[in-house]
């Protein structure tokens, strides 16, 4: 099957009249040093970001991603997270630290969803993948401090890892 480029038009609460081009097949052509353990669909089904993250922008992504997603339409609720704990910082913290790129005002997960769909922005992709790699430090802390399979050990770190597409249930 031959891939056909596609333009995605976004019009949601955080982006109006924004568009981007998909230049790769969905879930394909990642560099060898970027191998997320979870797809966006799997993350949404497990429970991430208190269920609030994708409630107003579902038209942008495959509907299958949301069939079993744990979503909280009103506000973020830690009970929607896999580990039932808040492991997120408010968006203003991310903005203050300079972690938000203008093309992805919701942050890393929005970037990952769009990257997974096939959008490529070389410099931003490099920056975000570097951030993803740096999160691995939490894996070392869990493996050093927790018995294998003890999901009650360090649940906040485990939830944070889920937010970055690392499957902390397997540690």
Q: Is residue 35 part of a domain?
A: yes
Q: Is residue 1 part of a domain?
A: no
pLDDT at position 23, please?
96
Q: Is residue 78 part of a domain?
A: yes
Q: What are phi and psi of 65, to 5 degrees?
A: -65, -25
Q: Is residue 30 part of a domain?
A: yes
Q: Is residue 110 part of a domain?
A: yes
Q: Is residue 117 part of a domain?
A: yes
Per residue in 110-126, pLDDT (tens digit) is: 999 999 999 999 999 99
Percent over 70 (pLDDT), the chain: 99
Q: How far apart are CA 169 and CA 12, in angstroms?
A: 33
Structurally, the chain folds into a number of domains equal to 1
- Residue 4: pLDDT band by 50, 70, 90 thresholds? confident
Phi-psi region of 84 (alpha: psi -120 to 50; beta: other; left: phi over 0): left
Per residue in 17-66, pLDDT (tens digit) is: 899 999 999 999 999 999 999 999 999 999 999 888 778 888 999 999 99
Q: Is residue 101 part of a domain?
A: yes
Helix, strand, coil content of the chain in percent (nearest 5): 40, 10, 50
């Amino acid at each position: 099957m031959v891939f056909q480029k596609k333009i995605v038009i976004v019009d949601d609460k955080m982006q109006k009249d924004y568009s981007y081009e998909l230049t790769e097949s969905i879930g394909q052509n990642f560099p060898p040093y970027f191998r997320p353990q979870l797809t966006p669909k799997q993350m949404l089904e497990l429970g991430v970001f208190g269920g609030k993250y994708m409630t107003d922008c579902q038209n942008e992504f495959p509907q299958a991603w949301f069939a079993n997603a744990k979503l909280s339409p009103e506000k973020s609720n830690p009970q929607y997270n896999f580990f039932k704990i808040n492991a997120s910082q408010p968006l203003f913290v991310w903005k203050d630290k300079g972690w938000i790129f203008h093309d992805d005002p919701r942050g890393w997960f929005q970037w990952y969803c769009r990257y997974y769909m096939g959008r490529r922005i070389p410099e931003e992709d490099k920056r975000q993948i570097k951030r993803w790699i740096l999160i691995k430090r939490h894996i070392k802390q869990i493996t050093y401090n927790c018995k294998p399979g003890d999901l009650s050990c360090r649940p906040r770190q485990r939830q944070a890892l889920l937010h970055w597409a690392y499957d902390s249930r397997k540690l």
